[in-house]
Structure 1
Amino acid sequence: MNTGLKITAFAAALAATFGTAYGVGKGVGPVVADEREVASPHGEHGGGGGHGGKGERGAAATAPGGLQISERGYALDLETPRIKAGERSEVRFSVRDGSGRKVTAYQREHGKELHFIVASRDLIAYRHLHPVRAADGTWSVPVELPKAGGYRAFADFRPAGKGAEGVTLGADLAVSGEYAPAALPPVEATAEVDGYEVTLAGGLRPGVARELRLTVAKGGKPVTDLQPYLGAYGHLVALRSGDLAYLHVHPNDGGPGPEVSFTATAPSSGAYRLFLDFRHEGKVRTAAFTVSVGGHAH
């Protein structure tokens, strides 16, 4: 990952499949927008911009991605529309072009041809997955989701071809089992995960590019040797509460910690869930935050 951006919002609480730990915000006071507006962000874009689409420059927010199953001549075909809670299952899907053919040619973005993210509708469960593509264009990935309910699956990719823009498509995934919805976690400025403390500074404003600064510590000491994950020292995703509008952010230039900086634009006021993936001592961990944009959290 270079200096591109996006963001997604989901939540935490699962100790994980694929070696990823999940943290829930816990601790100090609310996260609100400060005055550090960014006039020239390092490549922010809405979900419709994919991992490297047009719109990576400039402060205006584009329409968020993931709200549509079909966009710009591509459609997400989720061949596994339902799985069982608590069971390891294989999810299969494909991306089809305007003629109905499965897409087999992609541009690699941040080390991958396609990023696949699954989040529960109540924003408590989150998975950032990297599926494998068969020669015929069918993608597959094993996943175990901890709780029943409605989920949203996002395919974030850029098709092959000069000038092709990034696309983020979304489809509903049902997870069967006994369902108990959970409330959105409260707004907090610190998240704890697997012995790490991650502090969020800065905030979001609708239609305005703002800087988000996340500082990683362990045992009260700053972590200064973060390891690259997907080509950068941090990876930020966020979802808007309610419709799960997808944004996806990548960091500004910086060193291996303790601070990782991002620039992002919220498409509207409301509550968002932010997920920071960071790698240290060979393991990827995820710290999650709820933030309020425009004073409306629920």
Structure 2
Amino acid sequence: MKSSSKPISVLLLLLLCAFIATPRAHAHVGSKDVFEQVDAGPYKLFVTIRTPTVIPGVATVEVRSSGATVKNIHITPLPITGEASKHPPTSDPMTNSTADPAFFTGSIWMMASGSWQVRFEIAGDAGDQAVSVPVPAVALSTLKMQHGLGITLGILGLFLVVSMAGIVAAAVRDARLEPGAIPSPNRRRRTILATAGSLVSMALLLWGGAAWWNVEAASYALDVYHPMSVMPSLSGNLLDLNVQSYDGGKERTFRSNKDFLPDHGHLMHLYAIREPEMDAVFHLHPALASAGDFRISLPTMPAGTYKLYGDIVHANGFPETLVSTITVPADMPGGPLGADDASGSPPPLSQSPLGNSYKLPDEYVMVWDRPSAVSANTAYAFRFHLLDANGKPATDVQPYMGMAGHAAFVKTDGTVFAHTHPEGSAAMAALMLANDNTASHASNHEPMNGAMGMDMTAHNEPLSNTVEFPYGFPSSGPYRIFVQMKHGTTIETGVFDVVVP
């Protein structure tokens, strides 16, 4: 969608229906695409969904399968909740790569903004299965017409206007003349008046078209995603986060501050990262004191300015990351960390970049299997290992809030933040909601085994010391990665730096 106030450009926009958009942040800040690893019975899928930047728009879907052999996959877009979720449209087949039988590609239309899911219907050697991946679908921005295109269309528009005026002039001057006759002075005067009148009429049409277009552009802008605002205040060490409902002026753009779902047992996951050196990080969990009002007693924190990223999930499965800033004074009294809270104190960014091995405070070590090369807009499964004080694989790894680990990928300028899990970048609450609906509408399929990954209930057996996080860097630049794993009763925070070319 584009907006332009130039009448000629507006006319040609209407004639050619051309529009261009550029991405902007939503849900995870600066990361619009979805990366997810899901299990559907014996089938394992690494899913990448590249969401459109305008709605309606086309999302591209990529799947790499493992486990049991997959013969074909059909995909269907539908809302996670509501009446429309009960009436899915006809599914579309994905295309199987001739060079790589385990790789599938496809595309689907996302017809409205909101909390959507892509349902995967899988057929293979182990029978039929179904699994869903949640997708927040929103219009992200508008963009003015490209300068070169605007000039080209303006010239063409001027040519059309002049040509139309010329046709009117010729019709008035010559339509009733005998062949070879010369127009009289009176006919010439009428020709001039008709030409001027036609130009005035076309100018009025262009003005009316421009006014209509601007109204449509303003209406569309109401549907462009705007995150809910949050107003932080700090009294002593009590942090109060007042989340405001968002009302874009239309019912479909309203988002409430009273409908949050727990995700990993908490209504908000809050990362506080000290700026500009990113040398202090806290993963905290404020509690809801009243509608839209989250509060937490902060632990002891180094003084400074902190960028806050608060992840929430609405009742329909739509996730948001709320961004704000606080300043922690040097004399702030601090309390202990909560049971699920974590902290880290890495070296500042201004020092040498952190490598593949990060020594933790209790002599444990976290190691990153860094890819030989990374690039933007490419899906990876980033793998990390936890080693004990003797350099051996840790044997006492425990679930951290029901997961093998948590990670945050943060661009050093703050334009990208993504809190991810071993399953991927989708919120666990949305993933569970989507697959609960899929199970209820797929009675002809066998039950999914492990579609949600690890059981969220109590887990007493030690886990593997290795954890993977599906993710793709959305843009080039320097990033800092914070990885949390738990061994025994200790929550560790490993930190790694990477520059994406």
Is TM more than 0.5 here? Answer: yes
Alignment partner of 1:212 is 2:212: no
User: Secondary structure of the residue that 1:277 maps to in structure 2?
Assistant: strand
Residue 232 of structure 2 contacts residue 324 of structure 2 at CA under 8 Å; is this kept in 1? no
Distance change (3 Å), C-alpha of 1:108 and 1:186 = same
Which has the larger share of helix? 2
Which of 240, 243, 265 lines up with 2:472 in the alignment? 265
TM-score by length of 1: 0.68
Provide the rounded CA distance (Å) in 1 between the counterparts of 2:227 and 2:260.
12
Distance change (3 Å), C-alpha of 1:248 and 1:235 = same
Identity of aligned residues (%): 23
Which of 314, 331, 353 lines up with 1:186 in the alignment? 353
Provide the rounded CA distance (Å) in 2 between the counterparts of 1:107 and 1:43.
24
Per the alignment, residue 274 of structure 1 pairs with: 481
Instruction: Name which one, 1 or 2, has greater alpha-carbon Rg.
Output: 2
Shift of 1:175: 2.8
User: How do residues 141-290 of structure 1 correspond to structure 2 at under 5 angstroms?
Assistant: 141-144=296-299, 146-161=301-316, 164-177=317-330, 183=350, 185-193=352-360, 194-203=362-371, 204-218=374-388, 219-252=390-423, 256-290=463-497
Shift of 1:184: 5.2
Code of the residue aligned with 1:118 in structure 2: it is A
Structure 2: tracts of 5 or more residues without a match:
1-27, 31-44, 52-114, 119-131, 141-223, 248-253, 332-347, 424-452, 455-461
CA RMSD of aligned residues (A): 3.6
Shift of 1:231: 1.4
Q: Deviations over 1:40-81 (max 9, x none)?
A: 6357899xxxxx9869959xxx999xxxxxx8465232231x
Per the alignment, residue 34 of structure 1 pairs with: none
Alignment partner of 1:291 is 2:291: no
Residue 228 of structure 1 contacts residue 279 of structure 1 at CA under 8 Å; is this kept in 2? yes
User: Secondary structure of the residue that 1:222 maps to in structure 2?
Assistant: coil
Per the alignment, residue 25 of structure 1 pairs with: none
Provide the rounded CA distance (Å) in 2 between the counterparts of 1:200 and 1:271.
17
Alignment partner of 1:89 is 2:237: yes
Shift of 1:243: 2.6
TM-score by length of 2: 0.42
Shift of 1:240: 0.3
Higher relative contact order by CA 8 Å / sep ≥ 6: 1 or 2?
A: 1
Residue 205 of structure 1 contacts residue 266 of structure 1 at CA under 8 Å; is this kept in 2? yes
Distance change (3 Å), C-alpha of 1:277 and 1:242 = same
Shift of 1:283: 1.9
Shift of 1:185: 4.9
Structure 1: tracts of 5 or more residues without a match:
1-5, 9-39, 47-51, 65-70
Distance change (3 Å), C-alpha of 1:210 and 1:116 = same
Residue 92 of structure 1 contacts residue 139 of structure 1 at CA under 8 Å; is this kept in 2? yes
Code of the residue aligned with 1:170 in structure 2: it is V
Which has the larger share of strand? 1
Per the alignment, residue 258 of structure 2 pairs with: 104
Provide the rounded CA distance (Å) in 2 between the counterparts of 1:210 and 1:238.
13
Aligned residues: 236
Per the alignment, residue 41 of structure 1 pairs with: 46
Residue 103 of structure 1 contacts residue 137 of structure 1 at CA under 8 Å; is this kept in 2? yes
More displaced stretch, 215-224 vs 146-155: 146-155
Code of the residue aligned with 2:46 in structure 1: it is P
Alignment partner of 1:126 is 2:131: no
Code of the residue aligned with 2:238 in structure 1: it is E
Shift of 1:201: 0.8
Alignment partner of 1:76 is 2:243: no
